[in-house]
Structure 1
């Protein structure tokens, strides 16, 4: 068994172990509710979710699906807020507004810990329990979060770099479409560290996610003849890279891979246009966060772990069809 498979299997067992604890907690919670010995007198807790991703975004819509399903399963009220674009000032204001409403729990993504520190401190001062999802895992405990649900972005990027190296890539660009997002920085850092260790080299290319045309043009200009790999950090940048490589007739000679999934990315993986897509199972991030925080708000129970890893896993030509079936149900 190679190292990557061993790491993935270890992560899977940790997730399964945590899920068993969640189910046990839910069973205990039902018993406590029946005997009216709940931690909170309110029968229907209210949770607030604030992320840096809009629910209309294909990636974040799946997170929202998980949140909505968990809210139904746990019989809790959940609100979802996000800024119109990647804007930490606006996100901080949204958190402040939710804190003022005094929810029973707060679920947040933390793409920029420094920018959100004051708002999260206000939540802690108000006695509001916090869970983090998706971004901010490395800083979650320092910021007072009870638990993080997501993946190590550095490790995921590193695993992607190792796969690129095994595929023969020696010179690559890592396309960062969200400058200022610490998680994206970590993804590129892990990717470039792995590629460099394998004898290759690479650099970060910053692009504007708000302009697909700008992304495509910059990726095309950066993909000089010696560049044989393009690694993107999300579906929007991957679509731009795919278009750039197709326009230059380099799709077969320049390897392309990305973080995260969308219908277009899954189709490209199925057709062999993308080497792989890194899947962090964002549905679980939304679903588990609501389940766990609802249990904590009502009964004071929580898994004894700092983080629950939901990734990375890899979608390739071999398994893309199965993932496409799940995506049609809104869970991948």
Structure 2
């Protein structure tokens, strides 16, 4: 019986892989049909379809991190002939987010996307959406490993791994002493796994590093105030690092205001808020980590579109939106461009690429 289940799982995995990546002819052959390359080429224009609406529920709707995410949503829906709604909570209120999901179901949205920032709160609302025939995708934050959450796919960064790699970077910079780790909203699944990963990596190193975790809040001004206050009370610290965009910007501001790099203090964090990028260039942060928020919106729309267009035949698939350390030595491209892709311009544009492609 166990072997039968394993074999069935392999066949389903093969079928999904072919549908998503091996080509249309191979996929149809597996499903009992066949199509030649010439027939595929003669397909012509994409069929007319309903102008499907996808509702994006968010946990911090006004946070600047999600500006490029919204541009990605706008560009993908314009490209694919869809509509969207941006809703949720401005200050990480889980009840408001759940209400927004339920409202999208009641309004008969065609698809829903939501960061699963709580391990249990979204299980029933997402199941209700699926029962109503509405596909639901997680973006930016996913249900924990082993969860019963029924979302169809996750589009976002491997959060624990990104935190672990940040912890390894911290260990490479600091041998001992107090290190502050700032987190906007402890326990939320979009950032808590990063904190957990960073702490695990620091602990594994065996170095005599005293880690203190500080909650900063959901708004940029609040975060800056908490970080400044902590530093003033712990001026012997050796490092300040953050696991969210707003706190990272706050760390950079305090590092500059108190000239901390000249005192041997190191700093770093996540995401590419314009002020963070500027202060990396000026030498006040050692690094930030890019998780590509634009594609967290764009790819989620594409997944919803292909699911709806294929009647559920194609996808869904998890998409890791990446992990890239940005340092003083690699920050220049982020400064010399001003586009929607990093949230610095409202203009839709194609950006010419020059030079060799670096992996």
Aligning the two structures, in what range does the TM-score lie when normalised by the shorter sequence? 0.7 to 0.9
Which residue of 219, 222, 243 corresponds with 1:233?
Answer: 243
Q: Counterpart in 2 of 1:219?
A: 230
Deviations 1:82-131 (A, max 9, x none): 21211111111111111101112111111113222232222122121111
Q: Counterpart in 1 of 2:275?
A: 264
Q: State the shift of 1:194 in Å.
A: 0.7
Would the aligned equivalents of 2:115 and 2:138 in 1 still touch at CA under 8 Å?
Answer: yes
SS of alignment partner, residue 112 of structure 2: strand
Q: 1:204 to 1:44 in 2, by over 3 A?
A: same
Q: State the shift of 1:247 in Å.
A: 4.2
Q: Does 1:244 align with 2:254?
A: yes
Deviations 1:205-226 (A, max 9, x none): 122344245313333145441x
Would the aligned equivalents of 2:123 and 2:148 in 1 still touch at CA under 8 Å?
Answer: no
Which residue of 47, 59, 65 corresponds with 1:52?
Answer: 59
Q: Counterpart in 1 of 2:34?
A: none
Which residue of 202, 218, 223 corresponds with 1:195?
Answer: 202
Q: Does 1:64 align with 2:70?
A: yes
Would the aligned equivalents of 1:315 and 1:323 in 2 still touch at CA under 8 Å?
Answer: no
Q: Counterpart in 1 of 2:314?
A: 302
Matches within 5 A, 1:8-23: 21=21
Q: 1:76 to 1:23 in 2, by over 3 A?
A: farther
Q: 1:213 to 1:311 in 2, by over 3 A?
A: closer
Matches within 5 A, 1:126-145: 126-136=132-142, 138=144, 142-145=148-151
Matches within 5 A, 1:37-186: 42-54=49-61, 56-136=62-142, 138=144, 142-170=148-176, 171-186=178-193
Deviations 1:291-310 (A, max 9, x none): 111111111343464x2111
Q: State the shift of 1:165 in Å.
A: 1.2
Cα distance in 1, alignment partners of residues 340 and 46 from structure 2 = 33
SS of alignment partner, residue 292 of structure 1: helix
Cα distance in 1, alignment partners of residues 268 and 313 from structure 2 = 39
Higher relative contact order, chain-length normalized (CA < 8 Å, sep 6+): 1
Cα distance in 2, alignment partners of residues 22 and 288 from structure 1 = 19
SS of alignment partner, residue 115 of structure 1: coil
- If the length of structure 1 is used for normalisation, what is the TM-score? 0.82
Cα distance in 1, alignment partners of residues 302 and 257 from structure 2 = 46
Gap runs ≥5 in structure 1: 1-16, 37-41
Deviations 1:265-301 (A, max 9, x none): 1111112211111111111110010011111111134
Q: 1:78 to 1:163 in 2, by over 3 A?
A: same
Q: 1:169 to 1:111 in 2, by over 3 A?
A: farther
Q: Counterpart in 2 of 1:14?
A: none
- If the length of structure 2 is used for normalisation, what is the TM-score? 0.77
Q: 1:82 to 1:139 in 2, by over 3 A?
A: farther
SS of alignment partner, residue 50 of structure 1: strand
Q: 1:47 to 1:249 in 2, by over 3 A?
A: closer
Q: 1:34 to 1:84 in 2, by over 3 A?
A: closer
RMSD (CA atoms): 2.9
Q: 1:48 to 1:317 in 2, by over 3 A?
A: same
Would the aligned equivalents of 2:163 and 2:243 in 1 still touch at CA under 8 Å?
Answer: no
Cα distance in 2, alignment partners of residues 303 and 164 from structure 1 = 38
SS of alignment partner, residue 302 of structure 2: helix
Gap runs ≥5 in structure 2: 1-16, 28-39, 343-359
Equivalent pairs counted in the alignment come to 305
Cα distance in 1, alignment partners of residues 272 and 23 from structure 2 = 28
Deviations 1:309-331 (A, max 9, x none): 112111111111112344x2021
